[in-house]
Amino acid sequence: MSPLFPALAARSTRPALGFGDQALSHAELATAAGALAARIVGAPRVAVWATPTLGTAVGVVAALLAGVPVVPVNPKTGERELTHIVTDSSPALVLAESGVELPPILAELPRVGTDRTEVTDPVDRALPDEPAPESPALIVYTSGTTGPPKGVVLPRRAVAATLDALEDAWQWTDADVLVHALPLFHVHGLILGILGPLRRGGSVRHLGRFSTDGVARELSSGATMLFGVPTMYHRIAEALADDPELAKALAGARLLVSGSAALPVHDHERIGAATGRRVIERYGMTETLMNTSVRADGEPRAGTVGVPLAGVELRLVDEAGAEITAYDGDTVGEIQVRGPNLFTEYLNRPDATEAAFDDGWFRTGDMAIRDPDGYVRIVGRKATDLIKSGGYKIGAGEIENVLLEHPGVREAAVTGEPDEDLGERIVAWIVPVQADAPPSAEELAAHVAAQLASHKRPRTVRYLQALPRNDMGKIMKRSLHG
C-alpha cells in the first residue's frame, strides 16, 4: 500500500495541523509523530485520550505510522462505559497530553506523552514501513440498540478508500484548509476532519470548541471548507440573521459539508438565503465510513445525501429481503452497502459481525428512497431505540439500564423527541420508587453522565405512575408521546 499520508512521507513544509496557536507542518508532524511512533511500535493496541487538541492528532498519526491499532477515547466517558471500552479493547498503553489526570483504569497503564516537548526528537527518523492495507488502523466505539457500545475495527484500506472517494466527490485538494470543531473520538471529527486533510496534504484548523465566531474568523482568514453536524449548522442558521460577518465568511467558503444526521430543510434554506451558498450533505456510519455525498460539481438538493461515492455499492432492500430496483422517489427500503470503505468486524463480537451482514452487504438500518437520478433520501431508521442527538448515536437501552440502577427509579424508558437544536433530545420516562419524592431530573442526568457520557444524559425527564405495557409486558414506547 502506498503511504496513508504521502505529504508526511515527503516532508512537506506546508501547514498541516492548527489548534489555536499550536501548529505543525507536515514535516514537523512527521518528525513528532515519527518519534512517538518509534516509542510505541510493536504495542498490540493503544488508547488515545482524545481531547480536542494537537496532542490527540499527533498521537493518532503516530499510532497509524507505527501500525499500532488506536482506540480513541472520549475524555468525558463515564465510569461504566470507560471500563467496558478499556476491558474490551485492552490497550497496552495510553497516549495523552501531559498534565491531564486520567481516570484510574487508564492511569494504571503505561503512559506516553503526546506533547510537542515530549515527542521532540533531534533525529528525524525514517518513518516505519507502511503496514498492510487490511491491518487494523482504528477501533471506534459506537452504540447499538442494546448492550454496551461495540468496537468497530477499521482497516487502513477503509480509511484510505473513504478519504480518496471524498477527494473525488468534493474536489478536495492540498490547497484546502478545513475548519471544524468536532470531537476527535468519532469518525466525523477524527477520520474525515483530521486524517482527511493530512492525506490530501492540505491542512485543518480545529476550533477546540464550536462557536459561530470561530467559524467566521477561520473562514475569513483562509479556511476553505467547513465540516459540522446539523446542530452546528442550526446554530449558524440562527446566528446568521444578526451576523453579517458570519454570512460573508460562509459565502466565501469553497465547501460547507454537513453530516452525522439529517440537516433540516429549513436550516438549508436559511443558510442558502443568507449566504447564497448551499450546504452539501454526506451520509456515513462508523462501520462503513462514507457511503454517499452530494458532489461538489453536482446539483445540491436539500433533504438528500447525494449519490453513492466512488467504489461504494448501495442497494435498497424491502422487508422481505428483496432488492428494490425502482428509482421512483417513493419506494422505501433499507440501505445496504458494500465496498472498500467497510469495517472488518466488531471487536470480540463475531455474533454481532455476522448479524450485521446480509450476504456480504452491510445492513445500515437506515431507511431511504431514491430519486429517479439516483439521489438518496434518508427517511428514517429501522430501530426506534437508536437516538441521534447532536450527531451522536445513542442506544436507548444503555441509558435505561443505567437509570434502573438509580435507587430512586423503579421503571425507566428512554425515547428520542424532536429537538430543533439537537435533532433529537433524550427523554427519560421514569416511574419513581417514591412517587412523592422522585429523583430530580438533574440528579438523573448527572447519574447517566457519570456512568456513560455527558451527551447520553437525558435532557428531559417525565414522571409516570406506570409505563404503558402490552399483554406481553413489553413497554409500548410509541404510546408514551401520545
E runs forming strands in 26-183 = 46-49, 70-73, 93-96, 111-113, 136-142, 150-155, 177-180
DSSP secondary structure string for all residues of 95-113: EE-TTPPPPHHHHTS-EEE
Are the CB atoms for 281 and 301 separated by under 8 Å? Answer: no
CB-based contacts of 225, cutoff 8 Å, min separation 6: 170, 172, 176, 177, 178, 179, 253, 254, 255, 256, 257
- Asked if 284 touches ligand MCA (CB under 6 A), the answer is yes
Name the phi and psi angles at 338, rounded to 5: -145, 145
Q: Compute the distance between CA of residue 297 and CA of residue 304 in angstroms, rounded to an integer.
A: 15
Q: In terms of CB distance, is 38 or 279 closer to ligand AMP?
A: 279
9: Cβ contacts below 8 Å, ≥ 6 apart: 3, 30, 127
Smaller CB separation from ligand AMP, 190 or 216: 190
What is the pattern of x (binds ligand MCA, CB under 6 A) and - over residues 344-383?
A: ----------------------------------------
Task: Name the amino acid, one letter, at 243.
Answer: D
Assign residue 99 a region (left: φ > 0; alpha: ψ between -120 and 50; beta: otherwise): left
Total residues binding ligand MCA (CB under 6 A): 25
The Cα–Cα gap between 223 and 255 comes to 10
**Among ligand AMP, ligand MCA, none, residue 231 binds (CB under 5-8 Å by kind):** ligand MCA
Tell me the window of 55-63, 131-139, 335-343, 387-395 that interacts with ligand MCA (CB under 6 A): 387-395
Closest contact distance (angstroms) between CB of 28 and ligand MCA is 27
Task: Report phi then psi at 234, rounded to 5.
Answer: -65, -45
Name the residue nearer to ligand MCA (CB basis): 72 or 391.
391
The distance of closest approach from Cβ of residue 258 to ligand MCA in the complex, given in angstroms and rounded to an integer, is: 9
Between 282 and 425, CB nearer to ligand AMP: 282
Out of ligand MCA, ligand AMP, none, what residue 399 binds, judged by CB under 5 to 8 A for its kind, is none
Output 15 or 214, the one with its CB closest to ligand MCA: 214
Q: Which stretch binds ligand MCA (CB under 6 A): 117-125, 240-248, 395-403, 443-451?
A: 443-451
Q: Is 77 helix (H, G, I), strand (E, B) or coil?
A: strand
Q: Are 110 and 93 in contact (CB under 8 A)?
A: yes
Sequence-ordered strand ranges (E) for 264-400: 279-285, 289-293, 307-308, 313-317, 323-324, 333-338, 345-346, 357-358, 361-370, 376-381, 386-389, 392-395
Mark 447-466 with x for binding to ligand MCA (rule: CB under 6 A) and - for no binding.
Answer: --x----xx-x---------
Residue 267 Cβ, how far from ligand MCA at the closest point, in Å?
13
Residue ranges binding ligand AMP (CB under 6 A): 142, 187, 259-262, 281-286, 305, 364, 366, 378, 381, 388, 393
Position among 26, 188, 199, 200 found at the interface with ligand MCA (CB under 6 A): 188
CB of 295 to ligand MCA, least distance (A): 17
Q: How far is the CB of 378 from ligand MCA (least distance, A)?
A: 11
The phi, psi pair for 187, rounded to 5°, reads: -60, -45
Quick check: 96 binds ligand MCA (CB under 6 A)?
A: no
Interacting residues with ligand MCA (CB under 6 A): 76, 182-183, 186-189, 210, 229, 231-232, 259-260, 284-286, 390-392, 445-446, 449, 454-455, 457
